Each structure stands twice: as structure tokens, then as C-alpha cells.
């Protein structure tokens, strides 16, 4: 019988499924030992905790079968990721991004190497050539090198190797995407979003929300209960995998003052979405998402990127959601008299820099900042 498996957010290598006897769990993962990649799968656990305990036992069994000093880069990377998940250091999205980045870039060359056999000279030569061959940006290569360095640093701390070869590595790469935008370009984009018939009400509203600095996943997670008068609450996110979570940091949980145009559009969206819910024999509640498709299900995560492809094509200005967050910050910090901490609070940043660490800002200041920014639209 074929089952539908659902990954556990607490541990993506453990999945639940429904049988005729009720809910069950299974473990499914791979590990490399003695240069051989082993796939491990076991079904029929009665609880998540039982599955997790069995998984740890299997990992311990594998670990005892070969000397830790001879562990491969890929095998240790898997252990490193699992520990990050178990201790709460990583969210599921971080795990997915990290494993994808490692398996795509690092594994083909270094995966089967023993940790102790990786030399700084060879790694430096590889990462320099790799950046040129792939034409990756310098920022991307920094992320990649940082991921690898984290694995080796962890191995040093656990006495698997005596010294990390990934130290003081020089990272090269092509320039990153230009996130700057002129006031003229910003006005052109804003006017298109506001007035163009190419965008639906929902698309226009989602695009407008990027102009006040909201992150992609924050926009996807807006529910009716978070819209109150002229304030918008950011307390949930929906990531690219469709998982509901809390914002990335505690400071990202916040109330954001809304300009009238966004408040108006959100209220109209709520009324429109009520009709969508009703057409699907549902009653929209305060806990429901505002941005939904014709089936009253959350819109695809890629919808916002699709909207900005339309905007870019029609205005001939290359923009994307996160670029508008940069634009908001640039414009806001360019307005004399605004409290920088108020701007940081709107964006959901914990601090501007260490010199402003103790400047807490005020709710009134955030509203004043938003009013002054709105006047420029």
C-alpha cells in the first residue's frame, strides 16, 4: 500500500504517515561510512519520540563501525546538520538550504574525502576556480565557504581533526545583484503597482507590502487577525516549503504602521477573500490567510516573484521583492530627523549597529517615520 509521508518539522529525516491502524512514523536518511553512502529506512514507529530514539541508535551503530578519525566530509556534514536541527540552532528552511547548497556544490568534489585529508592549499585552489567556472557571486561564495568552514570548525571542537584547513580562505566571485534604486525608478515602480490594470487587487496589495519593507515570507503569512486599524502585525511566516513558522528573529515579531493606501487595499482584499472562502463553502475567520487562490488555499510562494516579473517587464526596471525592502531602508534613512532605531523596528531588525544598540525607539516614532515616508509616495 502506498502512503503519503509528511516530514516532521522537528526532524525532517523523520516522517509521519496514516495507516489503517492509525498514525505511524518512519525514519529515512543517508550517511556515508568508509566512503560508501548508506541509505537507512525503517517504518512502523508508534510515536515521533520512538522514531527519533531509533534513529539515534542507528547513527550510533554506524558510528561504532568505523573510526571517527576516518569520517568523510559528507558523513560529518550529515551529523553536523542533524545536531543543528536537534538543538534548535537551525530552522527547517536553513536545513534545506544548507543541504541543497552542500550537495550541489561541495559533495561532487569533497564529499568522499576524509576530513583529515582536506588541505588548505587544495581547498583554496578549488574554491577560487569553482567561483570562476560557475560565475557565482562573491556573496554566494561567502555563504558556501561559511557553511564548509562551520563543518570543519565543529569537527575541531569534537576532536575529529586537530586543525581546520578552512581558515583565512580568500573568497572571490562576481559582483552581487545591484539592489540600489533611484527615487525616479522607485516612483515609476510605485505608480505602476498603484495604477496598472495588469495587476489584480491581490497582486497589487502584495506588491505594495514590499514597499514598506516586509519580507517575502512575512507577506505570505498575513492573517485577518493581524490587520488592526492602521497597524499590521507580523507574527507568522510561510516559507518556500509552505511551512508556517514564527519570524526569523524575536525582533521580527512586530506591529508595523500602515499607510492609508495599504490599509485600504488590505481591507478590500479581505472582503474579496471572504467571497472566495464562501464560494468554497467556507466562512472566513480571523485566523484565516488573506492571500489565497480560487480554492481558498494559500497562494503559491512564487506568486510574489511572478508579480515582480510583470512589474520588471512593464517598467523596464529590474526589481524583485527583497530589492524593495532595500529601497524602503534607503529612502527611510535618507530622510532627515528620523530615529534610525524606529526604522530598524519597522524592518524587524534587532539593531542598526553596535553604536545604536541601546537606542530602543518608540511606537510613536515608528508611526511618525511611516507618515513621513508615506508623504513621499
Cell 518608540 belongs to residue: 362
pLDDT computed for residue 184 by the predictor: 87
Residues with Cβ within 8 Å of 14's Cβ and at least 6 positions away in sequence, in order, are 7, 8, 25, 26, 27, 28, 48, 51, 52, 55
**Where is pLDDT greater, at 170 or 94?**
170
pLDDT computed for residue 365 by the predictor: 65
Does 356 score more than 50 pLDDT?
A: no
**Where is pLDDT greater, at 206 or 41?**
206
Reported pTM: 0.67
SS3 39: strand
Q: What is the pLDDT of residues 77-115, one digit of tens each?
A: 998 998 888 888 888 888 888 999 999 999 999 999 999
pLDDT computed for residue 9 by the predictor: 82
- CA–CA gap between residue 105 and residue 368 (Å, rounded): 47
pLDDT computed for residue 363 by the predictor: 59
Q: Which long-range contacts (CB under 8 A, 24 or more apart) does 184-191 make?
A: 185/317, 186/327, 186/331, 188/315, 188/317, 189/311, 189/315, 189/317, 189/319, 189/324, 190/377
**Where is pLDDT greater, at 327 or 219?**
219
**Which range, 8-22, 283-297, 359-373, is most confident?**
283-297
Cell of 130: 569553482
**Where is pLDDT greater, at 310 or 10?**
310
Cell 567556472 belongs to residue: 133
End-to-end CA distance of the chain: 59
Does 271 score more than 50 pLDDT?
A: yes
Q: What is the pLDDT of residues 231-260, one digit of tens each?
A: 999 999 998 888 888 887 788 899 999 999
Cell of 345: 523596528
Q: What is the pLDDT of residues 60-73, one digit of tens each?
A: 766 555 456 788 99
Q: What is the mean pLDDT of the chain?
A: 87
**Which range, 14-18, 39-43, 84-88, 120-124, is most confident?**
120-124
Amino acid at each position: 500500500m502506498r502512503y503519503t509521508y509528511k516530514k516532521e518539522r522537528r526532524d525532517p529525516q523523520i516522517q509521519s504517515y496514516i495507516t489503517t491502524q492509525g498514525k505511524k512514523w518512519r525514519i529515512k536518511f543517508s550517511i556515508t561510512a568508509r566512503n560508501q553512502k548508506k541509505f537507512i529506512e525503517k517504518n512502523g514507529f508508534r510515536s515521533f519520540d520512538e522514531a527519533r530514539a531509533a534513529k539515534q541508535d542507528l547513527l550510533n551503530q554506524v558510528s561504532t563501525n568505523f573510526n571517527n578519525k576516518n569520517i568523510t566530509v559528507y558523513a560529518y556534514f550529515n551529523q553536523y546538520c542533524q545536531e543543528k536541527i536537534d538543538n534548535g540552532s537551525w530552522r527547517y528552511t536553513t536545513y534545506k538550504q544548507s543541504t541543497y547548497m552542500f550537495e550541489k556544490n561541495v559533495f561532487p568534489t569533497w564529499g568522499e574525502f576524509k576530513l583529515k585529508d582536506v588541505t588548505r592549499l587544495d581547498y583554496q585552489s578549488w574554491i577560487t576556480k569553482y567561483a570562476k567556472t560557475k560565475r557565482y557571486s562573491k556573496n554566494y561564495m561567502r555563504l558556501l565557504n561559511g557553511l564548509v568552514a562551520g563543518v570543519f570548525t565543529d569537527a575541531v571542537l569534537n576532536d575529529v581533526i586537530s586543525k581546520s584547513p578552512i581558515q583565512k580562505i580568500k573568497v572571490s566571485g562576481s559582483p552581487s545583484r545591484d539592489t540600489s534604486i533611484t527615487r525616479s525608478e522607485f516612483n515609476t515602480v510605485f505608480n505602476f503597482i498603484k495604477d496598472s490594470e495588469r495587476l489584480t487587487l491581490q497582486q497589487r496589495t502584495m506588491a505594495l507590502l514590499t514597499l514598506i519593507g516586509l519580507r517575502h515570507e512575512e507577506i505570505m503569512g498575513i492573517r485577518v487577525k493581524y490587520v488592526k486599524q492602521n497597524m499590521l502585525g507580523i507574527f507568522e511566516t510561510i516559507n518556500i516549503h509552505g511551512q508556517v513558522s514564527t519570524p526569523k528573529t524575536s525582533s521580527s515579531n512586530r506591529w508595523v504602521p500602515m499607510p492609508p493606501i495599504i490599509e485600504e487595499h488590505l481591507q478590500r482584499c479581505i472582503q474579496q477573500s471572504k467571497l472566495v472562502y464562501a464560494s468554497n463553502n467556507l466562512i472566513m475567520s480571523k485566523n484565516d490567510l488573506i492571500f489565497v487562490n480560487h480554492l481558498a488555499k494559500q497562494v503559491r510562494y512564487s506568486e510574489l516573484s511572478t508579480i515582480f516579473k510583470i512589474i520588471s517587464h512593464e517598467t523596464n526596471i529590474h526589481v524583485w521583492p527583497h530589492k524593495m525592502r532595500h529601497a524602503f531602508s534607503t529612502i527611510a534613512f535618507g530622510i532627515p530627523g528620523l530615529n534610525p532605531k524606529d526604522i530598524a523596528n519597522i524592518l524587524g531588525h534587532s539593531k542598526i549597529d553596535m553604536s545604536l544598540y541601546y537606542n530602543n525607539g518608540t511606537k510613536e516614532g515608528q508611526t511618525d517615520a511611516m507618515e513621513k515616508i508615506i508623504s513621499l509616495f
